């Protein structure tokens, strides 16, 4: 299975392509889409779309994973990221590739074990896991690989090396009460 991961951005967007075969994850391609800040937003978006469709045509990914929008104090920044996400998702949808979104915290937790991991920690884990020979120049590229690797962990029997806490669930109130009698408050009738 081939997975394309995207770290969206309008000036620098990262992409990473991995292949999962059984329990083996290997790197196929990684890079960034760099835009000149002097060009208009529509031209930046066009370039992002063009490069992503080019990557799709080269590797024919089975799955497409992208980082969700985060909330920023700067509304303009959040809006621009949203536009980059939109054209990226459109590229995947136009090729009928299933698109899955992951929060930055979820991605970091899956690949480093810490939801608040630094970009350096994510980069180190991607270099180690995928046996990258050289340190990528931009964190956006290793962030995109982390998105793809997170997706590989989530959709398969392949497990993250970092155990996730399991939530205890109860099928219904009766079974919850039976298994947690100390949490039940008894009221006496007067």
DSSP 4: E
- Distances 138 to 31, 50, 103, 119, 131 between C-alpha atoms, Å: 9, 20, 20, 10, 17
Matching residue, tokens 């497990």: 159
Q: For the chain, list the strands marked E by DSSP.
A: 2-7, 12-21, 24-34, 63-67, 99-102
Q: Which residues are catalytic?
A: 7, 67, 140
């Amino acid at each position: 299975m081939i997975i394309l991961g995207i770290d969206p951005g309008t000036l620098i967007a990262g992409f990473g392509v991995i292949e999962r075969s059984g329990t083996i994850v290997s790197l196929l391609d990684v890079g960034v889409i760099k835009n000149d800040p002097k060009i208009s937003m529509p031209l930046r978006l066009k370039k992002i779309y063009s490069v992503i469709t080019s990557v799709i045509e080269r590797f024919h990914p089975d799955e497409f994973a992208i980082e969700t929008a985060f909330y920023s104090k700067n509304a303009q920044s959040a809006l621009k990221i949203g536009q980059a996400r939109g054209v990226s998702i459109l590229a995947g949808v136009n090729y009928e590739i299933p698109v899955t979104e992951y929060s930055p915290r979820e991605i970091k937790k899956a690949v480093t074990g810490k939801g608040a991991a630094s970009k350096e920690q994510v980069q180190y884990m991607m270099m180690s896991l995928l046996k990258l020979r050289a340190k990528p120049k931009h964190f956006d590229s290793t962030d995109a690989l982390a998105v793809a690797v997170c997706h590989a962990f989530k959709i398969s029997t392949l497990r993250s090396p970092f155990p996730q806490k399991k939530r205890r669930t109860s099928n219904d109130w009766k079974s919850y009460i039976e298994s947690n009698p100390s949490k039940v408050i008894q009221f006496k009738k007067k």
